[in-house]
Chain A
Amino acid sequence: MFKKIIVLLVLITSIVLSQSWNDIKTTNISLANANYAEMFSNGFGNNVILQNTNGSISYYLVNASTGLAGNAITVETSGASLAQITGEAEKIYVLFKRITK
């Protein structure tokens, strides 16, 4: 009986301890030419957009485990501001204000 209790405690402890903060990851996304970044997380990973200083919007999908992003996708090439991102499990939406061309 005593052995069973010990085993149970070890199991519970290992499950609880395994839920924790992972190490800090440095991404490969630079904010040097951006006003700000916004993030929305779903099943694909962390979806990040940059509102760039030149009025463009860039999108990155950041791997949740490595912190590394794939190649940037340009959402808008110019004239954009106030970009925000939201979505659901399978979709993302980027909303921004655009200067009328």
Chain B
Amino acid sequence: MAYDGKIHITYSLNNIAYYYQYNGSTWTGSYNVSNSGTGLSPRIEMLTTQSKVYVVFNSSSGSAKSRELTLPSTWGSIQTLYSNVNQPKVAGFGVDANYMYLYYSDLYNISPDFYYTFHTNIILKSNYQTVSYLYESYNYTDFVQTTTTANNKVHTAYTWFGILGDGYQTLPYEPGLVIQTWNNGSIEGENVEVNYNLEYYYNVEVSSTSNDIFVLWKPQNSSTLKYRQYDAAPLAPNNYAVSVYRSETNYYPRLSWSLNNEPDVRGNSSNAYKIERRTRPISGQWSDWSTMANLSGTTSSYIDYSISNATGGDKEAEYRITAIDIGNNPSPAQSVTIEYGMNIAEKIKVELLVSNYSLNQNYPNPFNPSTKISYSIKEEGFVTLKIYDILGKEIVTLVNENKPAGIYETEFNASSLPSGMYIYKIQSGQFSDVKKMLLTK
């Protein structure tokens, strides 16, 4: 059984592998996956990832086969993963973005000797060709569990135990419970001994959330389940955003995020989410970071009441969030920024007025000796406002600087200029406009 928004199941009926999916109200998508009968140990394994369902099964011809469902209902052709091996048993498989990792055991049995070999085939999913393989002789492992973590690594839990028969006696080797990790087609590091206690392990289960791995098992000499966790750093909180919270006549930054899926973040009661803040004047120097709050793992919002008039103004605040698990592993930080300092009513008024670029007619016009020129800037940018005579010769530059969006007015004094027609020109980004004015002395 697997889940990715729908429940997917496979089962064997009359030695044929079937598939069904459940959307919460009805069962649909019935499909004969294997076409013909399954073979020795009619094992059917299924995994889902990236909108696909993968089914692996023993075929009746002594080979292992797989079939891929592209959701919602497009089945690919049956692929042969291996063939011509001795009494093979599919032990399980794992999938990441590009590869399938197929585990199986087969038996070498030429009397009086016999032994099992545990195989791993690394299969490229794009063409279902085996690109490399591993094997461990004398290892009879016919069941593995896999999980794929958020970092696209496949982790396989299996019990290792060897059996070698020489025709007269059976020799057990040292047993073990190990985790093997695959990273995009290559094995990563050495196998990890989850437990090394010279005993056999039963009921091994492996599961994961984000990059944390959880292994459950029953030891040989106890009926009580044991458990171990690989404690990875949490993922950065998803959907981290800042909005505005209104309280009476003021407005405050409100941060929100989705709760992390790692249980050791949600279970962290005091410092699962660390909120930090720094501020600056727009385009100015940032202050140092300061910690604003340490919140529990079940908290998904925070309002900063120490900053007023959020949403606009001449200052800026940046908020950084880090998720921290019980083992004190921090996630990568996420940041959002918000401007503040301007009353929201003022901000709305300015936004309504500055809906476009404009260059207005000077006033008064005709003029002697000074006049005022007003203009509006829709977006922050570099602005020039220059005066030319009627022949196109530049007389003076009135504005030559970066300006935030807004409405501006500047004065032009022509006391040293002769009477006549003059031209003024504004330029900001792609916007440009020209108007005439008359100086009469």
Interface residues of A (CB under 8 A from B): 15, 18-32, 36-46, 48, 62-65, 67, 84-89, 93, 95
CB of B223 within 8 A of CB of A86, answer no
Contact among A31, A46, A86 with B227 in the assembled complex (CB-CB below 8 Å): A46
CB closest residue in chain B, given A95: B1
Knowing A31-B218, A41-B263, A93-B3, the reply to whether A18 touches B327 (Cβ < 8 A) is: yes
Q: Are A88 and B205 in contact (CB under 8 A)?
A: no
Question: Which label, helix, strand, loop or mixed, suits the secondary structure of the B interface?
Answer: strand
Q: How would you classify the secondary structure of chain A's contact residues: helix, strand, loop or mixed?
A: strand
Taking a contact as CB atoms under 8 Å apart, the answer to whether A22 and B7 are in contact is: no
User: Which single member of A18, A48, A63, A87 contacts B225 (CB below 8 Å)?
Assistant: A48
Report whether B195 and A24 are in contact in the complex, using a CB–CB cutoff of 8 Å.
Answer: yes
Q: Add 4 more A-B contacts to A18-B328, A31-B223, A44-B266 (CB < 8 A).
A: A15-B330, A46-B207, A65-B263, A95-B1
Which A-B residue pairs are the 10 nearest by beta carbons?
A: A64-B263, A41-B207, A32-B223, A39-B205, A86-B3, A84-B1, A45-B263, A43-B261, A27-B225, A67-B227
Question: In the complex the two chains form, what is the Cα distance from A25 to B227 in whole Å?
Answer: 5
What is the bound-complex CA distance between A20 and B229, given in angstroms? 8
> Can you list 16 residue pairs at the A/B interface with Cβ under 8 Å?
A18-B233, A19-B231, A19-B233, A22-B229, A26-B226, A27-B225, A28-B224, A31-B203, A31-B218, A31-B224, A37-B216, A40-B207, A43-B263, A44-B263, A46-B216, A85-B1
Within the complex, what minimum Cβ distance (angstroms) separates B230 from chain A? 5
B3:A15 contact, CB within 8 angstroms: no
A19→B211 CA distance, assembly (Å): 10
Q: Which residues of B contact A37 (CB under 8 A)?
A: 203, 205, 216, 218, 225
Expressed in whole angstroms, the Cα–Cα distance for A31 and B226 within the complex equals 11
* Contacting pair B3 A24 (CB below 8 A): no
- What separation, in Å, do the CA atoms of A87 and B216 have in the docked complex? 18
Given A15-B233, A31-B224, A65-B326, answer yes or no on A42-B263 (Cβ-Cβ < 8 Å): yes
Residues of chain B from 205 to 246 with CB closer than 8 A to chain A in the complex: 205-209, 212, 214, 216, 218, 223-233
With a CB–CB cut-off of 8 A, which chain B residues contact A22?
Answer: 228-231, 327
* Minimum CB–CB distance for B253 against chain A, Å: 26
Residues on B with C-beta less than 8 A from A26 are 224-227
Whether B264 is near chain A, meaning CB under 8 Å from some CB there, is yes
Interface residue B259 (Cβ < 8 Å from any Cβ of A): yes
**Residue contact A25 to B3, C-beta cutoff 8 Å:** no
| Residues in B whose Cβ lies below 8 Å from that of A15 | 233, 329-330
Cα A41 to Cα B9 with chains together (Å): 19
Indicate if B420 sits at the interface (CB-CB under 8 A).
no
Task: Say yes or no: B7 contacts A93, CB within 8 Å.
Answer: yes
B192 touches A21 (CB 8 A): yes
* Beta-carbon nearest neighbor of B328 in chain A: A18
Q: Is B2 an interface residue (CB 8 A)?
A: yes
Judged by a CB distance under 8 angstroms, whether B164 is at the interface is no
Chain B residues within 8 Å of A64, by CB: 212, 214, 229, 263-264, 267
B66 to nearest A CB, angstroms?
A: 20
Question: Contacts A30-B223, A43-B262 hold; do A88 and B267 have CB atoms under 8 A apart?
Answer: no
